[in-house]
Copies of this chain bind each other. A is one copy, B any other.
Amino acid sequence: MKFIHFVLLFLIGTVSFSCGPQNSSTTTPQSGSQISTAFAKGEKVTNDNFIGTVWLNYLAETDTVHNVNIGSVTFESGARTNWHYHKGGQILLVTEGKGLYQEKGKPIKLINKGEVIKCPPNIEHWHGASPTEAMTHIAIGTNTNIGGAVWLKPVTDEEYSTS
């Protein structure tokens, strides 16, 4: 397994988030005025645990002191995670746009900027942008001393289109 695969395998929930000061990012909304968001989009994700265009900015590295990791993740419209679960759970804070969240066997839920989602440990789920609008969330992996993300199958277009 190449190093980059190893790193990205654990993208949400397991991983080596790099800690410390982050630069602010500035985006230009449709109105033409400038909105300065708190955290940069980060690096484009290139692994197979996601469909579509996804960006990741590691905010806080996993350590054995705090037992969490934190990343800001931006999904362009149509992009989403694969199905997965977290051994220690995860909390999502939606900071921009509109997205989707679904736990296995439950309906897809529309999630909006300002919403908070708790993903309990070992519950299979996926999350991503809406079909027409990007979504950014801060993802907080919890109880990382127990374990991180376990990645499963992609969310098919059929599964996604039911949204």
Binding site for B on A (CB under 8 A): 19-25, 31, 33-36, 38-40, 59-60, 63, 65-68, 70, 88-89, 91, 93-96, 112-116, 118, 120-121, 138, 140, 142-143
Interface centre among A22, A24, A113, A114 (most CB of B within 10 A): A114
A22 in complex: contacting residue of B24, B65, B115, CB < 8 Å: B115
A79 to B157 Cα, complex, angstroms: 50
Taking A20-B116, A40-B114 as given, write out 15 further A-B residue pairs in contact, using a Cβ cutoff of 8 Å, ordered by the A residue number.
Answer: A20-B115, A22-B116, A24-B112, A25-B114, A35-B35, A35-B36, A38-B96, A59-B93, A60-B91, A65-B120, A66-B88, A66-B89, A67-B142, A67-B143, A70-B93
Q: Is the CB of A114 within 8 A of B22?
A: yes
A38 in complex: contacting residue of B22, B59, B114, B121, CB < 8 Å: B114
Q: Is the CB of B66 within 8 A of A91?
A: yes
A88 to B142 Cα, complex, angstroms: 13
A118 in complex: contacting residue of B31, B33, B66, B112, CB < 8 Å: B66
Q: Is the CB of B38 within 8 A of A93?
A: yes
A94 in complex: contacting residue of B19, B38, B115, CB < 8 Å: B38
A126 to B29 Cα, complex, angstroms: 36
A66 to B90 Cα, complex, angstroms: 7
A95 in complex: contacting residue of B19, B20, B25, B38, CB < 8 Å: B38
| Closest beta carbon of chain B to A40's beta carbon, Å | 7
